[in-house]
Chain A
Amino acid sequence: MLNEAALKQVIATMLNVDQSAIDQDASMDTILTWDSLRHMNLVLALEEEFKVSIPDEDAGNITSYKLIKLVLEELLQAK
């Protein structure tokens, strides 16, 4: 099971926003600081936190909370 509290904390930390800003609809479009550079660091941080390796094609595209959740859940189930 994906620990959503931990997920929110990683996203908030890496995007430099308050955790309350990370809701189910959070995405690159709703969060001002979520730019392509921070996104890169976010992917690295997610990999470390959840001990998974996010494949290349997903790494660039998981630009919303829902997509991140989806990809992480798949990766964790496959483990």
Chain B
Amino acid sequence: MSNNALDIEVLNKADSTLTQITQAVARLEKGEPVSRLSIGLSSSATVELFGLYLRKYGLLSGTHITIHQGNFDDPIGDVDLFLGAGVDYVIMLPFLDTLMPSFEAQVECLPPDLLVEKEVELRNRYRIAFEKARSIKTIFLGSFHRLEYVIDVAGTDAVASVIARFNQALREEASAFPNVRMLDTEDVVRTVGHTAAFDARFYFRSKAPYTGVYFNELARRVAAATRGFGAYFYKALVLDCDNTLWGGVIGEDLMAGIKLGPYDYPGNIFWRMQHEFAALERNGILLCLCSKNNSEDVDEVFQSHPEMVLKSSQVVVKKVNWNDKPSNLRELALELNVGLDSMVFLDDSSFECEAVRQQLPMVKTIQVPATLSEYPRVVREIKELFIAGGISADSRDKTEQYRQRANAVALQAQYESQDAYLASLEMKVELSCNAAASVTRISELTMKSNQFNLTTRRYSEAEVITLMQSIDTVVYSLIVSDKFGKAGLTGVVFMRYMDGAAQIENFLMSCRVIGRGVETAIWSQIASNAAQSGCATLRATFIPTAKNAQVADFYERLGLELLKTSADGTKHYSITLASFTPPQTPWIELTYVE
């Protein structure tokens, strides 16, 4: 086997380890892909590992996938980010328990009004994100699921009703946008099992609730929903007859001898599968027959067998003759005017399957399993190939159903713009100067923050105290809150006054509050303080690291002028305080505590 084939085998095996998958993905991505695409991930949980599994399923379809990670809990800002990066798909995974800290535990005691407000806020947030993302091919929006087991055996506790309500809200908002599709994450948890899906250790530490097992199944579903990231588009299902539509061989067992019917084994399996095929036909899939038989024998079963489910009218073309199957499939493709690569072929004979696989590798060939109880699983996989990518809307009434948004909450959720939405959050920023009581938290934040950190200078508690006490340095800290609660002390600015200039020694923020204007809201106050202390200019430095690329142009956005860029990438900025006008954030109420 070639190295590539070995790596593909690693990706296909269910028990490959994370190390093996990581290695196989890295090696395969060094090769030449059939195609490339990029995916933006936006979540209110830590979902870094999901990227690996998306890349895995991409490689299994011949596609190299580049992942763009969004910020924490910022779908609107993330869409801006993703539009800039030109992503093909966006996957949004809102997470229930972080809607508010330990939301699931809080729900039972929350006042109903607050839940209504939260729902309104959710609707607005996602609607604005979807509005911005109209040009993106597909946005997958994960539904909410619970983190904890249901204690109430009837499954009707407060969490269940909030999930039902919020998921309904998400579905309604999504239905207005043809490029938004829901991902049922509750079913992913069900499928892999609650115990296998979550790892509590990293949830409380890093807000990372999920295991690789969960991400693997979710990525598999995304691959199915995108038809292998655009690798296939199946239109026709070509069915053998004997031991595929019924048990036994019509030419030998005759009408009375073949197994087919609702009650008796094994005829009940074939009868059930025929219902599945009929349902596919109902959804617009072309059904064909390709069988080595006398055509009149097969016709007779279709016409006269009392338990036959499929009707002749549901079959577009029948190739029932003694020609070899690859020839018949070629003819079918011509008659239907579809490519061979849009056909799925189902047959019980390993000989026939092998012949088709060898001569027509572009046809998706699937064998009826020898163990008949496995047949429903195989047909489920076939259905997934056809249906998971979406079916034409007119054969379903669901979409319309979701469009009918009659309830009062939906009406209440009619904000006009992003600004109005932001205003509705009632954001408050409390900016404190040299807050001695917060020294521990300030020092800790400088040690931990990597992404939104302009110079990545770290400060011990003693250093912070010294800077607070010194006459020519100021330590600002900020506490962010909105109508749903406090996010705590989540940002720090270190200023140094020297020779008439105010130098921003460092500015850093925790990722969980980025993207709503907080990062620019504080600067008018800081600038006016600097002016009062006798400074005429504002200076700043950006020092690049492996992790802080997201703020590489922060000072440009703040309105500073770039003076020069050093050889190591360090950027130096300056502006006179008189002409400094940071972006306005009227939706944020800033209070200043001296």
Contact = CB atoms under 8 A, between A and B. Distances in A.
Contacts of A32: 546
A40 B18 contact: no
B546 A45 contact: no
Given A40-B202, A59-B201, A45 B48 contact: no
A13 interface: yes
Interface in A22-77: 32-33, 35-37, 40-41, 43-45, 48-49, 56, 59-60
B23 interface: yes
B211 A13 contact: no
Nearest to B450: A35
A78 to B, nearest CB: 19
Contacts, number: 51
Nearest to A46: B19
B18 A48 contact: yes
Nearest to B202: A40
B17 A40 contact: no
B450 to A, nearest CB: 7
A59 B450 CA distance: 21
Contacts of B450: 35
Contacts of B563: none
Nearest to B208: A40
A39 to B, nearest CB: 9
A37 B19 contact: no
Given A35-B450, A35-B547, A37-B46, A45 B202 contact: no
A49 B48 contact: no
A13 B201 contact: no
A14 B22 contact: yes
Contact of A13 (B19, B205, B547): B19
Given A13-B23, A35-B450, A56-B201, A44 B18 contact: yes
Contacts of B409: none
A50 to B, nearest CB: 10
A48 B19 contact: yes
Chain B contact patch, size range: 20 to 34
A41 B205 contact: no
Contacts of A36: 206
B206 A44 contact: no
A35 B19 CA distance: 17
Given A32-B546, A35-B547, A10 B46 contact: no
A78 B206 CA distance: 28
A10 B17 CA distance: 10
Interface residues of A, number: 20
B369 interface: no
B17 A60 contact: no
Contacts of B22: 13-14, 45
Contacts of A59: 201-202, 205
A44 B198 CA distance: 12
Contacts of B46: 37, 40
B111 to A, nearest CB: 34
B212 interface: yes
Interface string B47-71: 0110010000000000000000000
Given A37-B46, A37-B48, A45 B19 contact: yes
A14 B205 contact: no
Contacts of A41: 18, 48-49, 52
Contacts of B48: 37, 40-41
A49 B17 contact: yes
B201 A45 contact: no
A37 B206 contact: yes
A14 B19 contact: yes
A14 B18 contact: yes
B52 to A, nearest CB: 8
A32 B205 CA distance: 21
Contacts of A44: 18, 199, 211-212
Given A32-B546, A37-B48, A48 B17 contact: yes
Interface in B51-101: 52
Contacts of B201: 43, 56, 59-60
Interface in B302-336: none
A5 B287 CA distance: 55
Given A35-B450, A37-B46, A59-B201, A45 B17 contact: yes
A43 B547 CA distance: 21
22 contacts: A9-B19, A13-B23, A14-B18, A14-B19, A14-B22, A16-B26, A32-B546, A40-B46, A40-B48, A40-B202, A40-B206, A41-B48, A43-B201, A44-B199, A45-B19, A48-B18, A49-B19, A56-B201, A59-B202, A59-B205, A60-B201, A60-B205
Given A35-B547, A44-B199, 12 more contacts: A14-B22, A37-B206, A40-B202, A40-B206, A43-B201, A44-B211, A45-B17, A45-B22, A48-B18, A56-B201, A59-B205, A60-B201
A-B residue pairs, 6 tightest by C-beta: A48-B17, A45-B18, A37-B48, A45-B19, A56-B201, A40-B202
